[in-house]
């Protein structure tokens, strides 16, 4: 699994790094970034929670 952030959609609300610190961080541009290559089993649930919580649907997760 891999998470992706669509920077054109992200409004920098900061929710995803709060929900899933291991996977998401805020970049210098004020938008979210994916901090890791691939999603380990231990972070998949919280990464999906972050995706579901994003107010602008900027996060996608692919198998």
- Residues 1, 45, 56, 60: which binds ligand F3S (CB under 6 A)? 56
- Under rule CB under 6 A, residue 30 binds ligand F3S: no
- Whole-number minimum distance, CB 7 to ligand F3S, in Å? 8
**CA separation for the pair 63, 55 (Å, rounded):** 22
- Whole-number minimum distance, CB 47 to ligand F3S, in Å? 11
Distances (CA, A) of 19 to 43, 54: 10, 10
**CA separation for the pair 63, 56 (Å, rounded):** 21
Q: Which residues bind ligand F3S (CB under 6 A)?
A: 5, 10-16, 32, 54-56, 58-59
């Amino acid at each position: 699994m891999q998470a992706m952030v669509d920077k054109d959609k992200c409004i920098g609300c900061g929710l995803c790094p709060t929900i899933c610190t291991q996977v998401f961080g805020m970049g210098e541009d004020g938008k979210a970034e994916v901090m890791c290559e691939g999603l380990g089993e231990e972070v998949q649930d919280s990464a999906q929670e972050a995706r579901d919580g994003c107010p602008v649907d900027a996060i996608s997760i692919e198998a």
